[in-house]
Amino acid sequence: MAWPYGNAERDEYAIRAATEIFGQHGEFIRNIIQFQVHDPGQVEDLYQEFFLALVRRPLPANVRNVRSYLYRALIHDMVDLTRRNEKYQQHLKKHAEEIRISINNDVPEDALLEAEEIRSVLAYLTRRLTPREAQVVTLRFRENYEISDIASELGVNRRTVSRYLCAGMGKIRRLLGIE
């Protein structure tokens, strides 16, 4: 069914609906989260996250047992959060292993040498790109700029930045023999 009003009205309706649900079932929601999490700091964060989730995805109109629906949605959200946290921890661990820095901040002696080698390889590769592609690739991967930040820095559209980035990375992959 198409929404007959604009986005602002839809957002206002979703916020009112979520506020009403939290007014009626807020204590139930908080108790479920506390029972599952046990960390007071996380409880409040999850409580607020669940409110925002209800704003983004309001309860369907055909829900008969609201508490049951809320319980299932809470459990699913907490499982998703746990998976995201585990994935993030795995990513951090993998990154630490890749640069051979342990979780205890033990830096191997040759880590600085490797960083210098990486810089020289990046400089060599970016010299093979057009000036704009090199600038975009450098800002993205050396300076850790987001695409929107690069776009505002260069005064171009985000799509233009994406095109430069894709073209530059394609050339770099071909130079490295990856593609």
Nearest CA among 70, 74, 50, 47 for reference residue 60: 70
Nearest CA among 142, 138, 144 for reference residue 164: 138
pLDDT in tens, 13-39: 888 888 888 899 889 888 888 888 777
Domains of the chain: 7-98 (1.10.1740), 111-176 (1.10.10.10)
Q: Can you say whether the dihedral through the CA atoms of 112, 118, 121, 123 is positive or negative?
A: negative
pLDDT in tens, 53-110: 888 888 888 888 988 988 888 888 888 877 887 888 887 777 766 665 544 555 555 5
Report pLDDT for 42: 79
Decide: pTM greater than 0.75: no
